[in-house]
Amino acid sequence: MRRESELYAPLKRYLEGQGYEVKGEVGAADIVARRGDEEPVIVELKLRITLSLYHQAAARMTLSDLVYIAVPRPGGASARRVMKDNKALCRRIGLGFITVREDGLVEVHCDPGGAAPRRNGKKRDRLLREFERLRGDPNDGGATRYGIVTGYRQDALACATYLASVGAEKGSIVAKATGVAKATEIMRRNAYGWFEKVETGVYALTETGRKGLADWGHSLETPERETG
């Protein structure tokens, strides 16, 4: 495996098979999975086991008690020792440990448990709000060609898509038509240079905005990508 995104599809299939809804690149987390009102599962991905992977996973332990690291299954003469040492370390610090084989088989070697850092409730709530805000699953556990798709960008894209079809329009009408409650604020803030104010409360799409639609428009597709 040469990219972290290649780990995402088999992990998503595995978690969905357990009854979870799964999305990639939610806030700072590589994968977030939810099943009803249960504690969210967070998975951090890397192509090999590194200290930075453990650092990232430890940071996510302030958001949930169910944090895993996931890597391609090690090969070579030292594989057995690598697996043993890292399972022991994960158990010691309370992380779950997952490997993914080249054929896509997901193996859970240990589940989270034991002592964990104190949870940061505000950051956890922010993570779950971003999960709910994202339309579909646009990131596949990694950045797109142009970067990470956030809920804010999707809202801006919804506004841009509407303006592209109808022309300049009042923010209140854009909000009602798109379901983006903060449409006026997003267009006024104009974080991506996609909008221009033509009169009080009325906004139009810029040429930069049309390019943004061409580059990012796919992320508004509501059906989630197939992972097979």
pLDDT digits (tens, 9 = 90+) for 183-200: 999 999 999 999 999 999
CB 79 within 8 A of CB 101: no
Domains of the chain, each with CATH number or no CATH = 5-133 (3.40.1350.10), 151-220 (1.10.10.10)
- Between the alpha carbon of residue 136 and those of residues 15, 54, 124, 149, 211, the distances in Å are 16, 28, 20, 11, 22
pLDDT band at 220; cut points 50, 70, 90: confident
CA distance 97 to 67: 9
Distance, in Å, from the CA atom of 174 to the CA atom of 196, rounded to the nearest integer, reads 14
Strand order of the sheet with strand 41-45? 21-26, 29-34, 41-45, 66-72, 96-100, 106-110
* Integer Cα distance of 21 and 202 in angstroms: 38
pLDDT tens, residue by residue, 79-126: 999 999 999 999 999 999 999 999 999 999 999 986 555 678 888 888
First and final C-alpha spacing in the chain = 16
Nearest Cα residue to 155 out of 220, 107, 98, 206: 220
For residue 142, the SS3 value is coil
pTM value surpassing 0.85 = no
**What are residue 159's DSSP bridge partners?**
none
